[in-house]
Structures are given as C-alpha cells and as structure tokens.
Structure 1
C-alpha cells in the first residue's frame, strides 16, 4: 500500500518541478535537453541546479526513510549497456526523451509527443514481454 502513496507523491513532485521549471525558465525540462544545456559554457546554472536535484533526491530519500528507492534489477551488464545505447539513440532520433515528451509534451497536447510516448511505451511493453517470455523458456 505504501508504494502507491510514494508513487503518487513522486508523480506530483515531478509535475510540480517540471511546471515550475517551465514557468521560470521558459524551457521544457526533458533530461536529455537539460543535460545538453547544463554543459554549455555561458548558460546552464538553472539546468545544473535541476539536475543536482535529480541526483540528490534518492540520497535524501535514503537519509529520511532509511532505504534506497527503486527496485533491484538482475540482468547482465552488457544488456544494460546495450539498452542505454538504444535509449540514447532513440532519444536523439525522437528529438527528446520520455520526460520531455511524456510529462511536458503531453501536457501541452503535442501530437509529436503523443506519437513519441506511444512508441516509447509500445517498445517498452514489447521488450518486457519478450524478456519475460525468454526468461520462462
């Protein structure tokens, strides 16, 4: 039961932080774009602060709650590397990541974001089903 409340709180915090970032900075806070802007020489302090929050939040959770958030994944490292490369390629090809399209794009009723999220979720569901099937056989 606790998982539902923490998921709800997390979703609310993501929505609030993305909305606030957009209102104060005028840019969509997708992680891939934030990461690119964070390393620009003349700009990027807002992006660096936002990304700092992304990385520090699990540590704060650990301090307050006493355990690490998330789940344990037990797959070979080469699959994680391949998955990361495919996600990076898809992010570049889709001109944005799941956070940019899924949280901000859909909120802005962007057709391109609806298509991108459909592709992200469809591929994720298909991959999970295939991995589950092959793990059983």
Structure 2
C-alpha cells in the first residue's frame, strides 16, 4: 500500500518536513517571528503593489527577510531537482483545475488569517488553540473535498 501512495519512497518527504520544521523553529526561536507562507506571499506583494492592504507596517518591516525566506524555498527546490538529479513529480490534473485550486487555497488562507504552514507548523507548535482549530478545519474540509471529488469521478 505504501508503494501505491509513495512510488518514489517517503524519505524525501521526511527530509523536507524535518528541514521545514528546523527552518521555522530557528526563525521563531531566533526572532520570535512566524514563518507562514501566506504572510510571506502578502509581504512580497508589498514590493509591487501600492494597495493599502499590502502596505501595512508589519509587511514593510519584515519584507526583506520574508523575501529571502521565499527565495530559499525556491532555491531548495531547484537544488533538489537539478543538484541531485531527482525526477520532477508529474500530475495529470489539468492546469485550469490547479489554478482554481490555488485561488481557493489562497482565498482560504487569507480568510483563515494564515495558511497550513503558519497555523499547522508554527501555531500548533506554540500551542495556539485557534491554530489547532484552524488545522482541524483545514484537514476536515480537505478530507471531505477529496472524498467528494473521488466519488464524483473527477
């Protein structure tokens, strides 16, 4: 059964999870800042958009390190792919579905005042009750959605 769900093995998922956990732990312990990706996304937009929502003082103060944080994620993925010669995972999901899913996930992250990395990794680790509730809602909705999509044959 494991081979069905993880045809390339589980070791790279474990390594990635450990590295992400170490990175956000070091960030939080070293600076007291939460490394959630929805705030990284919004902060990066503060470089390009003059909309008041992106020009908040906390975004402007933290945008340098958040831009480096995002660049490190991209660089890490590039090193994994090109430095180690690992295959790129391929999906059969059509691009419009991926775009719609990304929009829905981004909207949900803003609506929930954070994403799974902010709430799930940083919030739960700091014993934040609202983050735990958010993660339970994320997981519950994801499980229900996956079952509905599977049941409808999409």
Tell me the TM-score range normalised by the shorter chain. 0.7 to 0.9
- Residue 27 in 1 paired to residue 33 in 2? yes
RMSD: 2.0
The alignment of Structure 1 onto Structure 2 pairs a total of residues equal to 135
Q: Residue deviations 1:21-72, cap 9 Å, x none?
A: 1123321000011222334465422111111011111110112321245x32
Segment drifting more, 45-54 vs 20-29: 20-29
- Pick closer, same or farther for the CA change 1:94–1:8 going to 2, 3 Å: same
Match of 2:9 in 1: 3
3-state secondary structure, aligned to 2:90? coil
2:124 corresponds in structure 1 to 106
Structure 2's unaligned 5+ residue stretches are: 48-59
Q: Say yes or no: does 1:87 pair with 2:110.
A: no
Is residue 61–residue 68 contact of structure 1 (8 Å, CA) maintained in 2?
no
What are the Cα deviations for residues 67-111 of structure 1, in whole angstroms up to 9, with x where unaligned?
245x32212222222211211111111100000000001001111
Instruction: Give 1:47's aligned residue.
Output: 66
TM-score (norm. length: structure 2): 0.78
Residue in 1 aligned with 2:50? none
